[in-house]
Amino acid sequence: MKQFSGSHPIAPRKCEQPMSVFPIAAESLDAAHSGLTAAGELAKLASLDGIELARNCPNAIALLSSVGAAISGQKSDLPTQLFRLGNLSDLERKLIADVLGEGELAGVVALPGGRVAQIQESVLAGIWRVRIETDAAHEYVEVGAIPEIVRRAATDLTSSDLMIGAAPEGAMNVLPVLAEIRERALAWRSGMRSQIINFSLLPMSAVDQAFLQQSVGNGPIQLISRGYGTCRVLATGIRNVWSVQFFNAMDTIILDTLEVGGVPAVALAAEEDFSDSAERLQEIIKAYFE
């Protein structure tokens, strides 16, 4: 996964802690990790009888082989590939969970009708587990840079335009910032480079920040990456506009940005991840099941 670094945000006078455009709650940093469970360490497989597992879990072994073949040819610009788990037994689904494990990134997508999609990156970047609510029949493995449900929700469940109202009393710089966000969001097209507005470098009052958050609103997607530090990626209510925030080990924000473009790169599996994960998965299959 790509790594980013940044500077400390500017805190308003008489404010002891840096402020952020999107408020931070401790539970929000843990929310994405409360979904898919029971993904064991790969080391557990060493204590199991691989031949017996292969005999008792033929569908799981076949699915892992298919996933390995899919990711070996996957490219960032190609459609994702889905492998449903509905026909697997409980033991086979558990085996899939143990092999894939839990990687750095997890998240939730709010869907129409009050449903929620839980997303978990595996320890093999570019291979994801997705579950719609808690229904095993709607659980699948997906190969690609990011599950398609994230891209679809970012497009279909957000507003196409940013309506800018009158600035409240005490606002300083928020109106030109909102105008810039609106212009960039309307102009952005797939394939264009994302553009970043760094609030760590913008002097904005608390009134500015509150009005900006109210204007762009909250979107349907929350992703948390726990690689080198923590990164929170939120879709706003405006299409192509994302909040991307980085935290240190104390969960204090160190970089606060809005990103205009597609799904932010920090949440995507990189091109080189696909070949690396294909090689690692093939090694796992050979070591434990052949």
CATH number of domain containing 228: 3.30.1370.140
Looking at the structure, tell me whether residues 248 and 277 fall in a common domain: no
Any domain includes 223: yes
Looking at the structure, tell me whether residues 212 and 169 fall in a common domain: yes
Q: Which residues contact 161 (CB under 8 A, 6 or more apart)?
A: 182, 186, 238
Looking at the structure, tell me whether residues 72 and 132 fall in a common domain: yes
Q: What is the pTM of this model?
A: 0.83
* Closest residue by Cα to residue 118 from 130, 127, 136, 110: 130
Looking at the structure, tell me whether residues 129 and 183 fall in a common domain: no
Cα-flanking dihedrals φ and ψ of residue 265, to 5°? -60, -30
CA distances from 209 to 153, 158, 170, 216 (A): 25, 21, 11, 11
Q: Which residues, listed in sequence order, are joined to residue 121 by a DSSP beta bridge?
A: 128
Any domain includes 2: no
Looking at the structure, tell me whether residues 132 and 207 fall in a common domain: no
Looking at the structure, tell me whether residues 263 and 280 fall in a common domain: no
Using an 8 Å Cβ cutoff, are 71 and 278 in contact?
A: yes
Looking at the structure, tell me whether residues 59 and 132 fall in a common domain: yes
Looking at the structure, tell me whether residues 56 and 133 fall in a common domain: yes
Any domain includes 195: yes
The parent domain of residue 260 ranges over 26-30+155-267
Any domain includes 216: yes
Q: What is the pLDDT of residue 290?
A: 72
Return d(Cα 283, Cα 285) in angstroms, integer: 6
Any domain includes 208: yes
Any domain includes 3: no
Q: What is the pLDDT of residue 193?
A: 94
Looking at the structure, tell me whether residues 134 and 220 fall in a common domain: no
Looking at the structure, tell me whether residues 166 and 262 fall in a common domain: yes
Return d(Cα 56, Cα 52) in angstroms, integer: 6
Q: In terms of C-beta density within 10 A (0-12 exposed, 13-18 middle, 19 or more buried), how is residue 77 classed?
A: exposed
pLDDT along the chain (290 residues), means of 10: 32 35 50 42 54 82 96 94 92 92 95 92 97 79 98 97 93 93 96 92 88 96 89 97 93 92 96 96 86
- In the chain, how many domains are there? 2
Looking at the structure, tell me whether residues 47 and 131 fall in a common domain: yes
Any domain includes 9: no
Looking at the structure, tell me whether residues 159 and 214 fall in a common domain: yes
Any domain includes 21: no
